[in-house]
Amino acid sequence: MLKIKLSKDFIRNTVKRALNEDLYPSGDITSSLVKNNKIIKVKLLSNQNAIIGGLLFAEQAFDLIDNKIKFLIKKKDGAQVKKGSLIVTIEGKAKNILVAERVALNFLSHISGIATKTNQFVKLAGKQCKICCTRKTIPNMRVIQKYAVKLGGGTNHRFNLSDEFLIKDNHIASSDIKNLVSLAIKNKKRKKITVEVDNLKQLKTIMGLKFNTVLFDNMSLKNLKEGVKIARKYYETEASGNINLKTVKGVAKTGVDRISVGSITHSASAIDFKLEI
């Protein structure tokens, strides 16, 4: 698994593209009406309980517009905050703060949203079961979204298609499960191998082969529990398939090692923040 690295250059370049999107071709024509010599001090507040994430992206948004803006962080990425909490104080020229405001809040809201939703799943699953993200991410945003999952206490699944073998239902439908697993073992070159099954018959077909993880997809709790019992001595076990906050606790109780949840990246609600002047 590739380690996620959010270098200063990566953050700065990502934010720069976002600002270009917001300001092309004529800049902020509304904020240009504000006198640029007026200095203001604003508070960045959370309008709801949340896990904070994305502060370095927000900071870069202001810095790229005006490096004289003071961005004083009161809560760090990964911090759990309550509604009304002060996250940052910002001081500088009013016009420039207004120009950077939306891009800064967009990064903060999105990253915090993923971290917060992930943390909700993590708490319900308990300490013995990991919550993993998937590749169901916004194109070109995967590094950022997987970073957010880590902030929320989750575990990163494979980053891309080269990270490990993941033999899924459509691979199996196009071939033979036992043959695919055997080929993966032959060609693994230190890569991990995960095999998805959607029934116990498939599981029994591949038992004894040397791979790493069995992924139980869209199985009933009864069958999942039985599958975990059969496989756990030999393989890591994982569950997936439309698992939500109402069902995750029951899935975790089957004894599965980890649960992969696509919704923590593709459907996390943004956290509501505001700048109070």
The residue annotated as part of the active site, out of 16, 135, 136, 249, is 136
Residue 276, strand partner residues: 43
CA 218, CA 135: separation in Å to the nearest integer?
Answer: 17
22 catalytic residue (yes or no): no
CA 170, CA 150: separation in Å to the nearest integer?
Answer: 29
The residue annotated as part of the active site, out of 217, 238, 257, 258, is 217
Give the other-Cβ count within 10 Å of 194's Cβ.
Answer: 21
The residue annotated as part of the active site, out of 102, 188, 192, 249, is 102
The residue annotated as part of the active site, out of 12, 16, 123, 168, is 168
Ordered DSSP codes for 10-26: HHHHHHHHHHHHHHTTT
Question: CA torsion 7→262→79→113, rounded to 10°?
Answer: 90
16 catalytic residue (yes or no): no
Position 224: which residue type?
A: L
Sheet order of strands, 273-276 included: 70-73, 86-93, 39-46, 273-276
CA 268, CA 277: separation in Å to the nearest integer?
Answer: 28
136 catalytic residue (yes or no): yes
226 catalytic residue (yes or no): no
Three-state DSSP state, 178? helix
189 catalytic residue (yes or no): no
The residue annotated as part of the active site, out of 196, 225, 238, 258, is 196
CA 107, CA 86: separation in Å to the nearest integer?
Answer: 17
Query: Which parts of the chain are beta strand (E)?
Result: 39-46, 50-51, 70-73, 80-81, 86-93, 130-132, 165-167, 193-197, 213-217, 236-240, 258-260, 273-276
Catalytic residues: 102, 136, 168, 196, 217
